[in-house]
Amino acid sequence: MNIAVLGTGMVGQAIAGRLHGLGHSVVVGTRDPQATLARTEADQMGNPPFSAWHSAHPGVVLASFADAAVGADLVVNASSGAATLDVLGLAGADNLAGKVLVDIANPLDFSAGFPPTLFVKDTDSLGEQVQRAFPRAKVVKVLNTLNASLMVEPKSLGESSTVFVSGEDPAAKAIVVEILESFGHDDVIDLGGIETARGTEMLLPIWLRLMGALGTAQFNFKVVR
Amino acid sequence: MNIAVLGTGMVGQAIAGRLHGLGHSVVVGTRDPQATLARTEADQMGNPPFSAWHSAHPGVVLASFADAAVGADLVVNASSGAATLDVLGLAGADNLAGKVLVDIANPLDFSAGFPPTLFVKDTDSLGEQVQRAFPRAKVVKVLNTLNASLMVEPKSLGESSTVFVSGEDPAAKAIVVEILESFGHDDVIDLGGIETARGTEMLLPIWLRLMGALGTAQFNFKVVR
């Protein structure tokens, strides 16, 4: 499949690398490819610059958001929650129309420090905002409830755990579930329409506190039933 | 231990019955004991009236909130989130002073129908409101992330799952963990101070949507790590 991954951070790298490894044709989208490749410093979290990752993944193409999206069958939003609507606007509504739009972003607000709060919640969600802003895209909210490495290698936990899908289009969700299974996910719960993204986005406050209490981000929720 | 359970609904019944079965001396608190016993209709959820449960548990005493709290070593808030501050006020700040106050309530707002939203979240929590309103009580937020029957019989799931404690007083949390273990809980995560109740209370939106998607409330989260 031709897949665009919008965002060059840890999530974008993890998703793009895994999809490319599985044989998909992957283009990573960024605001300014030359500027992205020119950065040589680590990011705020201490992660190495994208150029280092790109050198190790020469088969993945880097392009502008719009150039990445235009040729894709499926688009992954791996940008930050705060940047999401801007990034998707740059990708272009026409370039997203009719396509599966996988939304991994969380509406985290770091303006008051750590842990962040949520800039949309409870009566609305970022997933719904994305679907309203791009009504011709088939938005599927998924993978926003675990860290980047576990998103794409869930079996590294050594035990089955759960991921959730939310979206209005059953066929789009089926395509996403197939990708999730190719990553190793064996317990996918379809929560229902995109409104249910409120539930998964509001998992972040406990996720952040669990990371503090456990001293690691290598954990995930399993719905035992 | 002498334990007061404030609230006569499903949660109060489950907790009171289980604690009594384990040998504790249990007094259930209600606004007006005579009125509670006089009710013969099922509640809004179709649950049988308290009097039916009480007939089957004659060893559990029913008393006013204040009379229940005054003689207790440990007090459990099993009232609804909307009623919590009022109920605890009726129990009496002096009757809660110095005691472990186990808070199970969730800040659910049903005013716009189902699923409910949260009347406090993200930058505050009901657990914190309770601790601020009753600064001499040792508030421990716990068990608000699973249904009443699983709170007290977690092993009925047939598999280990997780519960969380939040609170400022380590000794109070240790007492609560001991009670949880007597119920059968074998994976208790101490999230930290009462501020972390924001995390567990914000689990409710996904809990409610999982109940819809799975068609049952017989499930719980396990933190796989």
Residue A51, in any domain of the structure: yes
Please write the tens of the pLDDT for every residue from A85-134. 999 999 999 999 999 999 999 999 999 999 999 999 999 999 999 999 99
B107: CATH? 3.40.50.720
- Print burial letters for B145-160: b (CB count within 10 Å at least 16), e (below 16): bbbbebbbebeebeee
Residue B129, in any domain of the structure: yes
Chain B 13-72, residues with CB within 8 Å of chain A CB atoms = none
Residue B224, in any domain of the structure: no
Q: Dihedral through CA B85, CA B89, CA B94, CA B96, nearest 10?
A: -40
> Residue B176 is part of which domain span?
2-214
Q: Rounded distance, CA A98 to CA A137, Å?
A: 5
Residue A221, in any domain of the structure: no
Contact A214 B118 (CB under 8 A): no
Residue B152, in any domain of the structure: yes
pLDDT top residue among B42 and B169: B169
Please give the structure tokens belonging to residue B184: 């059968």
Contact B122 A118 (CB under 8 A): yes
Size of interface A-B (CB pairs under 8 A): 119
Length reported for chain A: 225
Please write the tens of the pLDDT for every residue from B64-111. 999 999 999 999 999 999 999 999 999 999 999 999 999 999 999 999
pLDDT band at A45 (very low <50, low <70, confident <90, very high): confident
Minimal Cα distance from A122: which residue of B?
B117
Residue A8, in any domain of the structure: yes
Residue A111 forms contact with B (CB below 8 Å): no
Please write the tens of the pLDDT for every residue from B98-157. 999 999 999 999 999 999 999 999 999 999 999 999 999 999 999 999 999 999 999 999
Residue A199 forms contact with B (CB below 8 Å): yes
Residue B225, in any domain of the structure: no
In 10 A of CB A221, how many CB atoms? Answer: 23
Residue B123, in any domain of the structure: yes
Contact B219 A218 (CB under 8 A): no
Please, how many CA atoms are within 13 Å of residue B93, restricted to the half-sphere of its CB? 8
Q: Rounded distance, CA B210 to CA B83, Å?
A: 25
Phi-psi region of B23 (alpha: psi -120 to 50; beta: other; left: phi over 0): left
Query: How far B30 CA lies from chain A's nearest CA (Å)?
Result: 31
Domain count, chain B: 1
Mutate to test the interface with B, among A119, A144, A173, A206 (most CBs of B within 10 A): A206
> Over 90: is that where the pLDDT of A46 sits?
no
Interface TM-score (ipTM) > 0.90? yes
- Tell me which residue has tokens 């993978």: A143
Minimal Cα distance from B157: which residue of A?
A225
Minimal Cα distance from B160: which residue of A?
A224
